[in-house]
Structure 1
Amino acid sequence: MLKAAIVVLLLATIASLFSGLFFLVKDEGDSTRLLKALTVRVSLAAATLALITWGFCSGQLVSQAPW
Protein backbone atom coordinates (compact mmCIF):
# COMPACT_ATOMS: atom_id res chain seq x y z
CA MET A 1 0.00 0.00 0.00
CA LEU A 2 2.83 2.38 0.88
CA LYS A 3 4.66 1.66 -2.36
CA ALA A 4 1.52 2.37 -4.36
CA ALA A 5 1.08 5.71 -2.57
CA ILE A 6 4.69 6.63 -3.36
CA VAL A 7 4.21 5.75 -7.03
CA VAL A 8 0.99 7.79 -7.21
CA LEU A 9 2.74 10.79 -5.65
CA LEU A 10 5.63 10.47 -8.11
CA LEU A 11 3.23 10.34 -11.05
CA ALA A 12 1.39 13.38 -9.71
CA THR A 13 4.73 15.19 -9.40
CA ILE A 14 5.53 14.42 -13.03
CA ALA A 15 2.07 15.61 -14.11
CA SER A 16 2.60 18.85 -12.19
CA LEU A 17 6.00 19.25 -13.83
CA PHE A 18 4.51 19.03 -17.30
CA SER A 19 1.62 21.32 -16.43
CA GLY A 20 4.16 23.89 -15.25
CA LEU A 21 6.03 23.51 -18.53
CA PHE A 22 2.77 24.05 -20.41
CA PHE A 23 1.97 27.18 -18.40
CA LEU A 24 5.51 28.47 -18.95
CA VAL A 25 5.18 28.13 -22.71
CA LYS A 26 1.56 29.24 -23.17
CA ASP A 27 1.06 32.03 -20.63
CA GLU A 28 2.06 35.59 -21.44
CA GLY A 29 3.48 36.25 -17.98
CA ASP A 30 0.40 37.78 -16.35
CA SER A 31 -0.83 34.53 -14.83
CA THR A 32 0.16 32.90 -11.55
CA ARG A 33 -0.58 29.38 -12.80
CA LEU A 34 3.13 28.60 -13.15
CA LEU A 35 3.76 29.59 -9.53
CA LYS A 36 0.85 27.43 -8.37
CA ALA A 37 2.15 24.46 -10.39
CA LEU A 38 5.58 24.91 -8.79
CA THR A 39 4.00 25.06 -5.33
CA VAL A 40 2.06 21.87 -5.99
CA ARG A 41 5.16 20.13 -7.33
CA VAL A 42 7.27 21.07 -4.31
CA SER A 43 4.50 19.98 -1.94
CA LEU A 44 4.14 16.63 -3.71
CA ALA A 45 7.91 16.08 -3.61
CA ALA A 46 7.98 16.86 0.12
CA ALA A 47 5.11 14.45 0.73
CA THR A 48 6.92 11.76 -1.27
CA LEU A 49 10.10 12.22 0.75
CA ALA A 50 8.11 12.14 3.97
CA LEU A 51 6.44 8.87 2.96
CA ILE A 52 9.76 7.30 2.00
CA THR A 53 11.33 8.39 5.28
CA TRP A 54 8.36 7.08 7.24
CA GLY A 55 8.51 3.80 5.32
CA PHE A 56 12.17 3.27 6.18
CA CYS A 57 11.69 4.24 9.84
CA SER A 58 8.66 1.99 10.27
CA GLY A 59 10.31 -0.94 8.49
CA GLN A 60 7.81 -1.14 5.64
CA LEU A 61 10.53 -0.20 3.15
CA VAL A 62 13.90 -1.92 3.30
CA SER A 63 17.05 -1.39 1.32
CA GLN A 64 18.57 -4.35 -0.50
CA ALA A 65 21.88 -2.55 -1.12
CA PRO A 66 24.94 -4.64 -0.24
CA TRP A 67 26.81 -1.81 1.53
Structure 2
Amino acid sequence: MSRYRCAQMPGATYFFTVNLLNRRSDLLVRHVDLLRETVRATRSRHPFHIDVWIVLPNHMHCVWTPSMAKLV
Protein backbone atom coordinates (compact mmCIF):
# COMPACT_ATOMS: atom_id res chain seq x y z
CA MET A 1 0.00 0.00 0.00
CA SER A 2 1.20 3.51 -0.76
CA ARG A 3 2.04 5.90 2.05
CA TYR A 4 0.63 9.32 1.41
CA ARG A 5 1.68 12.50 3.13
CA CYS A 6 -0.78 15.27 3.63
CA ALA A 7 -0.08 18.69 5.03
CA GLN A 8 -2.44 19.54 7.87
CA MET A 9 -2.56 23.26 7.10
CA PRO A 10 -5.62 25.47 7.51
CA GLY A 11 -7.06 26.23 4.07
CA ALA A 12 -5.11 23.46 2.31
CA THR A 13 -6.77 21.92 -0.74
CA TYR A 14 -6.17 18.34 -1.88
CA PHE A 15 -6.40 16.75 -5.33
CA PHE A 16 -6.70 13.00 -5.65
CA THR A 17 -7.77 10.35 -8.12
CA VAL A 18 -9.39 7.02 -7.30
CA ASN A 19 -9.21 4.21 -9.88
CA LEU A 20 -11.10 0.94 -9.89
CA LEU A 21 -9.00 -2.19 -10.14
CA ASN A 22 -11.11 -3.31 -13.10
CA ARG A 23 -10.59 -0.50 -15.62
CA ARG A 24 -13.39 -1.90 -17.83
CA SER A 25 -15.98 -1.49 -15.08
CA ASP A 26 -18.68 1.18 -15.02
CA LEU A 27 -19.35 0.67 -11.31
CA LEU A 28 -18.99 4.33 -10.28
CA VAL A 29 -21.64 5.66 -12.65
CA ARG A 30 -23.88 2.61 -12.25
CA HIS A 31 -23.99 3.19 -8.47
CA VAL A 32 -23.50 6.96 -8.38
CA ASP A 33 -26.41 7.41 -5.94
CA LEU A 34 -24.72 5.12 -3.41
CA LEU A 35 -21.43 6.98 -3.95
CA ARG A 36 -23.19 10.30 -3.25
CA GLU A 37 -24.81 8.93 -0.08
CA THR A 38 -21.46 7.62 1.14
CA VAL A 39 -19.74 10.96 0.56
CA ARG A 40 -22.60 12.74 2.37
CA ALA A 41 -22.20 10.45 5.38
CA THR A 42 -18.43 10.95 5.39
CA ARG A 43 -18.82 14.74 5.21
CA SER A 44 -21.08 14.67 8.27
CA ARG A 45 -18.29 13.04 10.30
CA HIS A 46 -15.31 14.76 8.62
CA PRO A 47 -16.47 18.10 7.16
CA PHE A 48 -14.90 19.19 3.88
CA HIS A 49 -15.86 21.31 0.90
CA ILE A 50 -16.02 19.64 -2.52
CA ASP A 51 -14.36 22.10 -4.89
CA VAL A 52 -14.51 19.76 -7.89
CA TRP A 53 -15.64 16.17 -8.20
CA ILE A 54 -15.62 14.38 -11.55
CA VAL A 55 -17.03 10.86 -11.62
CA LEU A 56 -16.26 8.72 -14.66
CA PRO A 57 -17.22 5.07 -15.19
CA ASN A 58 -14.00 3.61 -13.73
CA HIS A 59 -12.32 6.46 -11.85
CA MET A 60 -12.95 9.81 -10.22
CA HIS A 61 -10.98 13.02 -9.72
CA CYS A 62 -11.56 15.16 -6.64
CA VAL A 63 -10.44 18.50 -5.27
CA TRP A 64 -11.49 18.84 -1.64
CA THR A 65 -10.79 21.41 1.08
CA PRO A 66 -11.18 20.29 4.71
CA SER A 67 -13.29 22.47 7.00
CA MET A 68 -11.24 24.83 9.12
CA ALA A 69 -13.06 23.80 12.31
CA LYS A 70 -11.64 20.26 12.13
CA LEU A 71 -8.05 21.44 11.64
CA VAL A 72 -7.79 23.60 14.76
TM over 0.5: no
Structure with the largest fraction of strand: 2
Q: TM-score, normalised by structure 1?
A: 0.29
Whose Rg is larger? 1
Q: TM-score, normalised by structure 2?
A: 0.28
